[in-house]
Amino acid sequence: MPTSPLRLGIAGLGTVGAGVVDIVQRQGDLIAARAGRPVTISAVSARDRTRNRPVDVSSYAWEDDPAALAARDDVDVLVEVMGGSDGPAMAATEAAIAAGKDIVTANKALLALHGQRLALAAEAAGRTIRFEAAVAGGIPVIKALSEGLAGNAITRVMGVMNGTCNYILTRMENAGLPYDTVFEEARSLGYLEADPTLDVGGIDAGHKLALLAAVAFGARVDFAGVAIEGIERITIEDIRHAADMGFRVKLLGVAQMTGRGLECRMSPCLVPADSPLGQLQGGTNMVVLEGDAVGQIVLRGAGAGAGPTASAVMADVIDLARGIRVPTFGQPAATLAAPRAAASAAPAPHYLRMALVDKPGALAKIAAVLGDAGVSIDRMRQYAHQGSAAPVLIVTHRTTRAALDEAIAAMPGTGVLAEPPVALRIETV
Protein backbone atom coordinates (compact mmCIF):
# COMPACT_ATOMS: atom_id res chain seq x y z
CA MET A 1 0.00 0.00 0.00
CA PRO A 2 1.38 3.46 -0.84
CA THR A 3 2.55 5.73 1.97
CA SER A 4 2.40 8.94 -0.08
CA PRO A 5 -0.51 11.26 0.74
CA LEU A 6 -3.92 10.67 -0.81
CA ARG A 7 -4.69 14.05 -2.38
CA LEU A 8 -8.26 15.33 -2.51
CA GLY A 9 -9.94 17.82 -4.79
CA ILE A 10 -13.12 19.11 -3.16
CA ALA A 11 -15.87 20.35 -5.47
CA GLY A 12 -18.36 22.30 -3.41
CA LEU A 13 -17.69 24.27 -0.23
CA GLY A 14 -21.16 24.47 1.24
CA THR A 15 -22.19 22.82 4.49
CA VAL A 16 -20.79 19.39 3.62
CA GLY A 17 -17.69 20.53 1.75
CA ALA A 18 -16.68 22.83 4.61
CA GLY A 19 -17.29 19.93 6.99
CA VAL A 20 -14.90 17.73 5.02
CA VAL A 21 -12.22 20.43 5.05
CA ASP A 22 -12.71 20.80 8.80
CA ILE A 23 -12.21 17.08 9.48
CA VAL A 24 -9.09 16.87 7.30
CA GLN A 25 -7.60 19.91 9.03
CA ARG A 26 -8.49 18.88 12.59
CA GLN A 27 -7.97 15.13 12.42
CA GLY A 28 -4.97 14.82 10.14
CA ASP A 29 -2.89 12.70 12.54
CA LEU A 30 -5.80 10.42 13.42
CA ILE A 31 -6.69 9.90 9.75
CA ALA A 32 -3.07 9.14 8.81
CA ALA A 33 -2.77 6.61 11.64
CA ARG A 34 -5.96 4.82 10.62
CA ALA A 35 -5.46 5.01 6.86
CA GLY A 36 -1.75 4.19 6.92
CA ARG A 37 -0.98 7.34 4.94
CA PRO A 38 -1.79 11.05 5.14
CA VAL A 39 -4.89 12.50 3.50
CA THR A 40 -4.42 16.03 2.18
CA ILE A 41 -6.36 18.59 0.14
CA SER A 42 -4.72 19.87 -3.04
CA ALA A 43 -7.41 22.08 -4.55
CA VAL A 44 -11.01 23.21 -4.12
CA SER A 45 -13.79 24.61 -6.26
CA ALA A 46 -17.03 26.46 -5.53
CA ARG A 47 -19.35 28.99 -7.14
CA ASP A 48 -18.17 32.00 -5.09
CA ARG A 49 -14.52 32.39 -4.21
CA THR A 50 -15.13 35.44 -1.98
CA ARG A 51 -17.80 33.96 0.26
CA ASN A 52 -17.10 33.82 3.99
CA ARG A 53 -16.68 30.22 5.12
CA PRO A 54 -16.22 28.56 8.52
CA VAL A 55 -12.92 27.01 7.34
CA ASP A 56 -9.76 28.47 5.84
CA VAL A 57 -9.19 27.30 2.26
CA SER A 58 -6.65 29.96 1.32
CA SER A 59 -3.76 27.47 1.23
CA TYR A 60 -5.39 25.29 -1.42
CA ALA A 61 -5.33 25.83 -5.18
CA TRP A 62 -8.62 27.24 -6.49
CA GLU A 63 -10.43 26.13 -9.65
CA ASP A 64 -13.51 27.98 -10.87
CA ASP A 65 -14.42 24.96 -13.01
CA PRO A 66 -15.00 21.75 -11.01
CA ALA A 67 -14.25 19.66 -14.11
CA ALA A 68 -10.80 21.27 -14.26
CA LEU A 69 -10.39 20.46 -10.57
CA ALA A 70 -11.19 16.79 -11.26
CA ALA A 71 -8.53 16.62 -14.02
CA ARG A 72 -5.66 18.12 -12.00
CA ASP A 73 -2.50 16.02 -11.75
CA ASP A 74 -2.26 16.67 -8.00
CA VAL A 75 -5.75 15.29 -7.28
CA ASP A 76 -6.17 11.54 -6.65
CA VAL A 77 -9.80 11.58 -5.50
CA LEU A 78 -12.61 13.93 -6.47
CA VAL A 79 -14.89 14.73 -3.52
CA GLU A 80 -18.10 15.92 -5.19
CA VAL A 81 -20.41 17.66 -2.72
CA MET A 82 -22.06 20.21 -5.01
CA GLY A 83 -25.34 18.37 -5.57
CA GLY A 84 -27.60 18.36 -8.60
CA SER A 85 -28.45 15.55 -10.98
CA ASP A 86 -26.53 17.05 -13.90
CA GLY A 87 -24.71 20.31 -14.70
CA PRO A 88 -21.38 20.92 -12.93
CA ALA A 89 -21.71 17.80 -10.75
CA MET A 90 -22.10 15.56 -13.79
CA ALA A 91 -19.32 17.33 -15.70
CA ALA A 92 -16.89 17.00 -12.77
CA THR A 93 -17.76 13.34 -12.21
CA GLU A 94 -17.26 12.48 -15.87
CA ALA A 95 -14.00 14.44 -15.94
CA ALA A 96 -12.73 12.53 -12.91
CA ILE A 97 -13.54 9.17 -14.51
CA ALA A 98 -11.83 10.22 -17.76
CA ALA A 99 -8.76 11.25 -15.76
CA GLY A 100 -8.65 7.92 -13.90
CA LYS A 101 -9.69 9.29 -10.51
CA ASP A 102 -11.81 7.71 -7.80
CA ILE A 103 -14.88 9.67 -6.72
CA VAL A 104 -16.50 10.19 -3.34
CA THR A 105 -19.88 11.88 -3.54
CA ALA A 106 -22.82 12.90 -1.38
CA ASN A 107 -24.98 13.37 -4.49
CA LYS A 108 -28.01 11.06 -4.27
CA ALA A 109 -29.86 12.64 -7.21
CA LEU A 110 -26.92 12.19 -9.60
CA LEU A 111 -26.53 8.50 -8.77
CA ALA A 112 -30.25 7.73 -8.54
CA LEU A 113 -30.71 8.99 -12.11
CA HIS A 114 -27.36 8.14 -13.73
CA GLY A 115 -25.68 5.70 -11.34
CA GLN A 116 -25.55 2.65 -13.60
CA ARG A 117 -23.89 4.49 -16.48
CA LEU A 118 -21.39 6.25 -14.21
CA ALA A 119 -20.57 3.05 -12.30
CA LEU A 120 -19.92 1.17 -15.54
CA ALA A 121 -17.61 3.93 -16.75
CA ALA A 122 -15.73 4.16 -13.45
CA GLU A 123 -15.27 0.40 -13.15
CA ALA A 124 -14.12 0.13 -16.79
CA ALA A 125 -11.38 2.61 -15.84
CA GLY A 126 -10.45 0.58 -12.75
CA ARG A 127 -11.95 3.20 -10.43
CA THR A 128 -14.94 3.35 -8.11
CA ILE A 129 -17.60 5.80 -6.97
CA ARG A 130 -18.25 5.79 -3.23
CA PHE A 131 -21.44 7.38 -1.89
CA GLU A 132 -21.93 6.62 1.80
CA ALA A 133 -22.78 10.27 2.42
CA ALA A 134 -25.59 10.22 -0.16
CA VAL A 135 -27.87 8.03 1.98
CA ALA A 136 -28.92 8.69 5.59
CA GLY A 137 -26.18 11.19 6.45
CA GLY A 138 -23.80 9.83 9.06
CA ILE A 139 -25.35 6.34 9.23
CA PRO A 140 -22.94 3.84 7.58
CA VAL A 141 -25.70 1.95 5.80
CA ILE A 142 -23.98 1.47 2.42
CA LYS A 143 -20.94 -0.06 4.12
CA ALA A 144 -23.25 -2.23 6.24
CA LEU A 145 -24.97 -3.62 3.14
CA SER A 146 -21.99 -3.95 0.81
CA GLU A 147 -19.46 -5.20 3.37
CA GLY A 148 -20.81 -6.12 6.81
CA LEU A 149 -23.83 -8.01 5.43
CA ALA A 150 -22.25 -9.19 2.18
CA GLY A 151 -22.87 -12.81 3.15
CA ASN A 152 -26.61 -12.29 3.60
CA ALA A 153 -29.47 -12.48 1.16
CA ILE A 154 -31.20 -9.22 2.07
CA THR A 155 -34.92 -9.70 2.48
CA ARG A 156 -36.07 -6.17 3.25
CA VAL A 157 -34.70 -2.64 3.65
CA MET A 158 -36.86 0.03 5.21
CA GLY A 159 -36.44 3.27 7.03
CA VAL A 160 -37.03 6.92 7.68
CA MET A 161 -34.60 8.65 5.33
CA ASN A 162 -35.67 12.29 5.31
CA GLY A 163 -35.12 14.11 8.58
CA THR A 164 -37.22 17.11 7.54
CA CYS A 165 -40.32 14.96 7.05
CA ASN A 166 -39.73 13.18 10.35
CA TYR A 167 -39.32 16.54 12.06
CA ILE A 168 -42.62 17.77 10.60
CA LEU A 169 -44.57 14.64 11.56
CA THR A 170 -43.20 14.39 15.10
CA ARG A 171 -43.58 18.13 15.65
CA MET A 172 -47.22 17.91 14.55
CA GLU A 173 -47.82 15.13 17.08
CA ASN A 174 -45.89 16.58 20.01
CA ALA A 175 -47.16 20.17 19.65
CA GLY A 176 -50.63 19.39 18.29
CA LEU A 177 -50.00 21.69 15.32
CA PRO A 178 -51.44 21.36 11.80
CA TYR A 179 -49.26 20.48 8.83
CA ASP A 180 -49.21 23.96 7.26
CA THR A 181 -47.99 25.57 10.49
CA VAL A 182 -45.16 23.09 10.99
CA PHE A 183 -44.22 23.28 7.30
CA GLU A 184 -43.70 27.03 7.59
CA GLU A 185 -41.78 26.54 10.82
CA ALA A 186 -39.46 24.05 9.09
CA ARG A 187 -38.98 26.52 6.24
CA SER A 188 -38.05 29.34 8.64
CA LEU A 189 -35.52 27.06 10.36
CA GLY A 190 -33.85 26.27 7.03
CA TYR A 191 -34.79 22.58 7.12
CA LEU A 192 -36.43 22.54 3.68
CA GLU A 193 -34.74 22.31 0.29
CA ALA A 194 -35.06 25.33 -2.01
CA ASP A 195 -37.73 23.23 -3.74
CA PRO A 196 -39.67 21.88 -0.71
CA THR A 197 -41.28 19.16 -2.84
CA LEU A 198 -37.95 17.34 -2.80
CA ASP A 199 -38.47 16.87 0.95
CA VAL A 200 -42.20 16.72 1.68
CA GLY A 201 -43.00 15.14 -1.69
CA GLY A 202 -40.76 12.18 -0.90
CA ILE A 203 -38.40 12.68 -3.86
CA ASP A 204 -35.22 13.16 -1.80
CA ALA A 205 -35.95 10.03 0.22
CA GLY A 206 -36.96 8.18 -2.96
CA HIS A 207 -33.49 8.83 -4.43
CA LYS A 208 -31.95 7.28 -1.32
CA LEU A 209 -34.22 4.25 -1.42
CA ALA A 210 -33.35 3.59 -5.07
CA LEU A 211 -29.65 3.51 -4.15
CA LEU A 212 -30.20 1.24 -1.15
CA ALA A 213 -32.28 -1.16 -3.23
CA ALA A 214 -29.52 -1.42 -5.85
CA VAL A 215 -26.94 -2.40 -3.24
CA ALA A 216 -29.28 -4.65 -1.25
CA PHE A 217 -30.70 -6.63 -4.15
CA GLY A 218 -28.00 -6.49 -6.83
CA ALA A 219 -30.21 -4.56 -9.23
CA ARG A 220 -29.50 -1.57 -11.44
CA VAL A 221 -30.58 1.71 -9.93
CA ASP A 222 -34.18 2.34 -10.95
CA PHE A 223 -35.52 5.57 -9.49
CA ALA A 224 -38.43 5.43 -11.93
CA GLY A 225 -39.48 2.17 -10.30
CA VAL A 226 -39.91 3.77 -6.86
CA ALA A 227 -43.56 4.51 -6.03
CA ILE A 228 -43.49 7.88 -4.27
CA GLU A 229 -46.11 9.66 -2.19
CA GLY A 230 -45.34 12.64 0.05
CA ILE A 231 -46.71 13.76 3.39
CA GLU A 232 -48.68 16.78 2.13
CA ARG A 233 -52.07 15.15 2.78
CA ILE A 234 -51.31 14.09 6.36
CA THR A 235 -53.46 16.05 8.83
CA ILE A 236 -53.26 16.55 12.56
CA GLU A 237 -56.37 14.35 12.73
CA ASP A 238 -54.44 11.49 11.11
CA ILE A 239 -51.65 11.96 13.65
CA ARG A 240 -54.08 11.94 16.58
CA HIS A 241 -56.23 9.08 15.34
CA ALA A 242 -53.19 6.94 14.57
CA ALA A 243 -51.90 7.55 18.09
CA ASP A 244 -55.29 6.52 19.52
CA MET A 245 -54.92 3.19 17.75
CA GLY A 246 -51.31 2.59 18.80
CA PHE A 247 -49.56 3.85 15.65
CA ARG A 248 -47.42 6.74 14.44
CA VAL A 249 -47.23 8.17 10.94
CA LYS A 250 -43.84 8.07 9.21
CA LEU A 251 -42.63 8.75 5.69
CA LEU A 252 -41.31 5.23 5.27
CA GLY A 253 -39.19 3.78 2.50
CA VAL A 254 -39.51 0.04 1.91
CA ALA A 255 -37.64 -2.13 -0.60
CA GLN A 256 -38.10 -5.87 -0.85
CA MET A 257 -37.69 -8.50 -3.53
CA THR A 258 -40.87 -10.44 -4.17
CA GLY A 259 -42.03 -13.02 -6.69
CA ARG A 260 -43.61 -10.14 -8.59
CA GLY A 261 -40.34 -8.19 -8.80
CA LEU A 262 -38.59 -5.50 -6.78
CA GLU A 263 -41.04 -3.56 -4.64
CA CYS A 264 -39.81 -0.05 -3.80
CA ARG A 265 -42.11 2.53 -2.24
CA MET A 266 -41.64 5.75 -0.34
CA SER A 267 -44.92 6.78 1.26
CA PRO A 268 -46.58 7.78 4.53
CA CYS A 269 -47.24 4.63 6.56
CA LEU A 270 -48.43 3.76 10.02
CA VAL A 271 -45.95 1.89 12.19
CA PRO A 272 -46.45 0.56 15.74
CA ALA A 273 -45.80 3.37 18.23
CA ASP A 274 -43.63 1.10 20.40
CA SER A 275 -41.38 -0.02 17.50
CA PRO A 276 -37.93 1.52 16.93
CA LEU A 277 -39.30 3.39 13.89
CA GLY A 278 -42.35 4.53 15.85
CA GLN A 279 -40.17 5.99 18.57
CA LEU A 280 -37.93 7.93 16.18
CA GLN A 281 -38.19 11.65 16.93
CA GLY A 282 -37.16 14.90 15.24
CA GLY A 283 -34.75 15.07 12.32
CA THR A 284 -33.09 11.73 13.02
CA ASN A 285 -32.91 8.97 10.39
CA MET A 286 -33.29 5.23 10.90
CA VAL A 287 -32.65 2.35 8.51
CA VAL A 288 -33.73 -1.22 9.25
CA LEU A 289 -31.92 -4.01 7.38
CA GLU A 290 -33.13 -7.61 7.32
CA GLY A 291 -31.00 -10.52 6.12
CA ASP A 292 -31.53 -14.26 5.98
CA ALA A 293 -28.60 -15.00 8.30
CA VAL A 294 -28.33 -11.93 10.50
CA GLY A 295 -32.03 -11.23 11.09
CA GLN A 296 -32.89 -7.60 11.72
CA ILE A 297 -30.39 -4.76 12.26
CA VAL A 298 -31.44 -1.22 13.21
CA LEU A 299 -29.18 1.74 12.38
CA ARG A 300 -30.05 5.14 13.80
CA GLY A 301 -28.32 8.51 13.55
CA ALA A 302 -28.18 12.04 12.18
CA GLY A 303 -29.37 12.09 8.59
CA ALA A 304 -27.93 15.46 7.57
CA GLY A 305 -25.70 18.31 8.70
CA ALA A 306 -22.06 19.24 8.22
CA GLY A 307 -20.54 16.85 10.75
CA PRO A 308 -22.53 13.67 10.08
CA THR A 309 -22.42 13.94 6.28
CA ALA A 310 -18.73 14.90 6.21
CA SER A 311 -18.08 11.94 8.52
CA ALA A 312 -19.59 9.64 5.89
CA VAL A 313 -17.52 11.28 3.13
CA MET A 314 -14.35 10.71 5.13
CA ALA A 315 -15.20 7.06 5.76
CA ASP A 316 -15.13 6.53 1.99
CA VAL A 317 -11.96 8.62 1.60
CA ILE A 318 -10.15 6.60 4.26
CA ASP A 319 -11.16 3.31 2.61
CA LEU A 320 -9.62 4.56 -0.64
CA ALA A 321 -6.50 5.65 1.23
CA ARG A 322 -6.25 2.11 2.59
CA GLY A 323 -6.51 0.72 -0.93
CA ILE A 324 -10.02 -0.70 -0.42
CA ARG A 325 -11.98 -0.42 -3.64
CA VAL A 326 -15.45 -1.97 -3.43
CA PRO A 327 -17.56 -1.83 -6.62
CA THR A 328 -19.90 1.16 -6.60
CA PHE A 329 -23.06 -0.84 -5.87
CA GLY A 330 -21.41 -3.70 -3.98
CA GLN A 331 -20.85 -5.90 -7.04
CA PRO A 332 -19.59 -5.11 -10.54
CA ALA A 333 -22.07 -2.84 -12.30
CA ALA A 334 -22.07 -5.11 -15.37
CA THR A 335 -23.48 -7.94 -13.23
CA LEU A 336 -26.39 -5.97 -11.75
CA ALA A 337 -29.78 -7.36 -12.71
CA ALA A 338 -32.06 -5.43 -15.04
CA PRO A 339 -34.71 -3.65 -12.97
CA ARG A 340 -38.07 -5.40 -12.77
CA ALA A 341 -40.39 -3.33 -10.66
CA ALA A 342 -43.23 -5.15 -8.91
CA ALA A 343 -46.58 -4.26 -10.44
CA SER A 344 -48.18 -3.97 -7.01
CA ALA A 345 -47.23 -3.84 -3.35
CA ALA A 346 -47.52 -6.86 -1.09
CA PRO A 347 -50.81 -7.09 0.84
CA ALA A 348 -50.93 -5.28 4.18
CA PRO A 349 -53.44 -3.87 6.64
CA HIS A 350 -54.50 -0.30 5.91
CA TYR A 351 -55.82 2.66 7.85
CA LEU A 352 -58.81 4.51 6.39
CA ARG A 353 -60.02 7.90 7.61
CA MET A 354 -63.24 9.34 6.31
CA ALA A 355 -66.05 11.65 7.35
CA LEU A 356 -69.60 10.32 6.90
CA VAL A 357 -72.75 12.40 6.69
CA ASP A 358 -75.33 11.83 9.42
CA LYS A 359 -77.63 9.40 7.62
CA PRO A 360 -79.10 6.10 8.81
CA GLY A 361 -77.07 3.12 7.61
CA ALA A 362 -74.05 5.19 6.53
CA LEU A 363 -71.54 2.84 8.14
CA ALA A 364 -73.29 -0.19 6.74
CA LYS A 365 -73.02 1.23 3.21
CA ILE A 366 -69.27 1.78 3.59
CA ALA A 367 -68.80 -1.70 5.04
CA ALA A 368 -70.74 -3.16 2.12
CA VAL A 369 -68.55 -1.36 -0.44
CA LEU A 370 -65.42 -2.65 1.29
CA GLY A 371 -66.83 -6.17 1.38
CA ASP A 372 -67.74 -6.09 -2.29
CA ALA A 373 -64.10 -5.27 -3.08
CA GLY A 374 -62.89 -8.13 -0.88
CA VAL A 375 -61.62 -5.86 1.91
CA SER A 376 -62.46 -7.05 5.43
CA ILE A 377 -62.58 -4.78 8.49
CA ASP A 378 -60.40 -5.49 11.51
CA ARG A 379 -61.30 -2.48 13.67
CA MET A 380 -63.60 0.49 13.35
CA ARG A 381 -63.92 3.62 15.46
CA GLN A 382 -66.34 6.52 15.22
CA TYR A 383 -65.78 9.92 16.82
CA ALA A 384 -68.19 12.64 17.89
CA HIS A 385 -69.91 14.56 15.12
CA GLN A 386 -68.15 17.62 13.76
CA GLY A 387 -71.03 19.64 12.37
CA SER A 388 -73.10 17.39 10.14
CA ALA A 389 -70.36 14.78 9.60
CA ALA A 390 -68.86 12.08 11.80
CA PRO A 391 -65.16 11.11 11.57
CA VAL A 392 -64.79 7.35 11.12
CA LEU A 393 -61.59 5.28 11.28
CA ILE A 394 -61.26 1.80 9.84
CA VAL A 395 -58.31 -0.58 10.09
CA THR A 396 -58.56 -3.35 7.52
CA HIS A 397 -57.16 -6.85 7.54
CA ARG A 398 -54.38 -7.54 5.04
CA THR A 399 -55.46 -6.46 1.58
CA THR A 400 -53.97 -5.30 -1.69
CA ARG A 401 -53.93 -1.62 -2.49
CA ALA A 402 -55.75 -2.43 -5.73
CA ALA A 403 -58.70 -3.88 -3.80
CA LEU A 404 -58.72 -0.92 -1.44
CA ASP A 405 -58.61 1.56 -4.34
CA GLU A 406 -61.54 -0.27 -5.93
CA ALA A 407 -63.54 0.22 -2.72
CA ILE A 408 -62.53 3.88 -2.40
CA ALA A 409 -63.55 4.54 -6.00
CA ALA A 410 -67.01 3.12 -5.25
CA MET A 411 -67.55 5.05 -2.00
CA PRO A 412 -68.82 8.34 -3.53
CA GLY A 413 -71.70 6.36 -5.02
CA THR A 414 -73.00 5.56 -1.54
CA GLY A 415 -73.99 9.19 -0.97
CA VAL A 416 -72.67 9.12 2.61
CA LEU A 417 -69.16 10.56 2.18
CA ALA A 418 -68.64 14.10 3.47
CA GLU A 419 -65.04 14.25 2.21
CA PRO A 420 -62.67 11.96 0.28
CA PRO A 421 -61.12 9.12 2.33
CA VAL A 422 -57.45 9.04 3.29
CA ALA A 423 -55.77 5.60 3.12
CA LEU A 424 -52.40 4.75 4.68
CA ARG A 425 -50.60 1.43 4.68
CA ILE A 426 -49.76 -0.15 8.05
CA GLU A 427 -46.24 -1.56 7.88
CA THR A 428 -45.10 -4.51 9.98
CA VAL A 429 -41.75 -3.71 11.58
121 and 174 fall within a common domain: no
Residues 206, 27: Cα–Cα separation, whole Å: 34
Higher pLDDT among residues 312 and 193, named by residue: 312
Give the other-Cβ count within 10 Å of 409's Cβ.
11
**What average pLDDT score do residues 100-119 get?**
97
- Examine residue 142 and state whether it is found in any structural domain, yes or no: no
User: Which structural domain, as residue segments, surrounds residue 185?
Assistant: 147-302
The tens digit of pLDDT for each residue in 80-93 reads 999 999 999 999 99
198 and 229 fall within a common domain: yes
Question: What percentage of the chain exceeds 90 in pLDDT?
Answer: 85
**pLDDT of the residue at 219:** 95
**What average pLDDT score do residues 56-74 get?**
97
Give the CATH number, domain containing residue 391. 3.30.70.260
**pLDDT of the residue at 1:** 62
The tens digit of pLDDT for each residue in 345-370 reads 889 999 999 999 988 889 899 999 99
Residues 281, 259: Cα–Cα separation, whole Å: 34
Higher pLDDT among residues 387 and 67, named by residue: 67
**pLDDT of the residue at 339:** 84
**Whether 218 contacts 336, CB under 8 Å:** yes
Question: What is the value of pTM for the model shown?
Answer: 0.93
In the beta sheet, which residues pair with residue 394?
352, 380
Closest to 32 measured CA to CA, from 4, 60, 61: 4
Active site residue ranges:
208
39 and 124 fall within a common domain: yes
**pLDDT of the residue at 344:** 79
Give the CATH number, domain containing residue 87. 3.40.50.720
Tell me the CA end-to-end span of the chain in Å, nearest whole number.
43
Confidence band, pLDDT 50/70/90 cuts, at residue 97: very high
Domain count, the chain: 3
- Examine residue 339 and state whether it is found in any structural domain, yes or no: no
Give the CATH number, domain containing residue 217. 3.30.360.10
Confidence band, pLDDT 50/70/90 cuts, at residue 425: very high
| Sign of the dihedral defined by the CA atoms of residues 299, 301, 303, 306, in that order | negative
Residues 92, 325: Cα–Cα separation, whole Å: 20
